[in-house]
Amino acid sequence: MKNKRLLWQLPFLASLVIGTVLIIRHQQSMPYHQHADLVFGTTYHVTYQCDSDLSKGIKDELLKVDRSLSPFNKESVITAVNENRDIVPDSLFLEVFQLAMKISEDTGGAFDITVAPLVNAWGFGFKNKAMPSRLQVDSLLQLVGYQKLALEKGRVRKRDPRMMLDCSAIAKGYGTDRVAKYLRSRGVTNFMIEVGGEIVTSGVNPKRLPWMIGVTKPSDDSLSIGHELQTVLNVTDKAMATSGNYRNFYVKDGKRYAHTIDPKTGYPVNHGLLSATVLAGSCAVADAYATSFMVLGLEKSKELLARHPELMAYLIYNGPDGDFAVWYSPSLRDKIAE
């Protein structure tokens, strides 16, 4: 009886094995496509394995984010909110807004999408550089603070109409997530998406190996000519974002001013943390926390990470002897390439 049952099962098992082999061969024979273009005032690059060209769908997803969250787009939702037009924000804006509020609360205001007036005053936004006075900083601080925002009946309410929203520290990550969601909806399992340095990966690369991404060593190379790597991370099936002060700064009267503004003080941060790389389940989350860590500094970032085991961070800072020093989450150890 058992032998008859086994004989009956053999054809099914054989077809299953053959089918699996054919699927694997088909997947291995599928080409990898590469697509690059401009969006959000920066570049993006996508590598993905698929039978068809999905470049138009990829660009469409990014343009949706641009039309919702770009302060440089005069027709965007965020521009309408900044200009106090009566508008019901779209689902993309609402998703990012609510995530930003959650992370602002979690970081004690280190992450804050209302900090744009101060960023602009210090010359790192989309206005001309100018050194603000203490009086100007104090005045602008009245227009900063995520607690001064609220959603009422689907609309953004600002405590002061002069407040400005800028999601640049989360929008690139969110756009990267949107492309990843689109590729997965088309059955793509092997891909790497990079938007302005923010990354999401899945599966394997064209060499059938894990996706390995380099973390750039901090330097005063403000033109980004040098790209010496500090380390290489295995980021397969993860999102990764990096924020740093070492390239985006300017010097005035012999003093160096970093581009990260502390929303609480109104001044550029002044601590030894040079670069924060965060790995997370979503790139929007990684993007926002990387920015938060650059505001918080090394020790406060480590305290926050202790509350978030789902996050992994690689932090580069000025050591006591003036050389670069590194701290990283213990859970990140296995992802560092030797």
In a domain, 4, yes or no: no
In a domain, 311, yes or no: yes
Could you give the CA distance from residue 296 to residue 262 in angstroms, rounded to a whole number?
8
Cα separations in angstroms, 127 against 70, 121, 234, 256, 322: 15, 8, 38, 19, 34
Pick from 334, 244, 292: nearest CA to 104: 292
Please state the domain count of the chain. Answer: 1
pTM here is 0.88
Q: Domain containing 321 — which CATH number?
A: 3.10.520.10
User: What pLDDT shows up at residue 222?
Assistant: 46
pLDDT in tens, 145-194: 999 999 999 999 999 999 999 999 999 999 999 999 999 999 999 999 99
User: What pLDDT shows up at residue 12?
Assistant: 54
Residue 51: partners with Cβ closer than 8 Å, 6 or more residues away: 30, 31
pLDDT in tens, 6-16: 555 555 544 54
In a domain, 69, yes or no: no
Q: Are 96 and 171 in contact (CB under 8 A)?
A: yes
Give the CA angle between residues 87, 93, 97 to the nearest 5°.
110
Could you give the CA distance from residue 157 to residue 20 in angstroms, rounded to a whole number?
55
Q: Report the C-alpha dihedral over residues 122, 171, 216, 237, rounded to 10 degrees.
A: 160
User: What pLDDT shows up at residue 323?
Assistant: 85
Could you give the CA distance from residue 70 to residue 65 in angstroms, rounded to a whole number?
7
Pick from 154, 244, 184: nearest CA to 61: 184
In a domain, 182, yes or no: no
In a domain, 135, yes or no: no
Q: Are 70 and 171 in contact (CB under 8 A)?
A: yes
In a domain, 223, yes or no: yes
Q: Report the C-alpha dihedral over residues 113, 175, 207, 338, rounded to 10 degrees.
A: 10
Could you give the CA distance from residue 128 to residue 111 in angstroms, rounded to a whole number?
23
Q: What parts of the chain have a pLDDT lower than 70?
A: 1-28, 124-130, 220-227, 246-258, 338
- Residue range of the domain that includes 288: 210-338
Give the CA angle between residues 95, 41, 106 to the nearest 5°.
35
In a domain, 239, yes or no: yes
In one letter, which amino acid is 131? M
Helix ranges (DSSP H) in the chain: 2-29, 55-69, 77-82, 91-106, 116-121, 134-141, 168-185, 283-296, 298-306
In a domain, 23, yes or no: no
Could you give the CA distance from residue 120 to residue 130 in angstroms, rounded to a whole number?
8
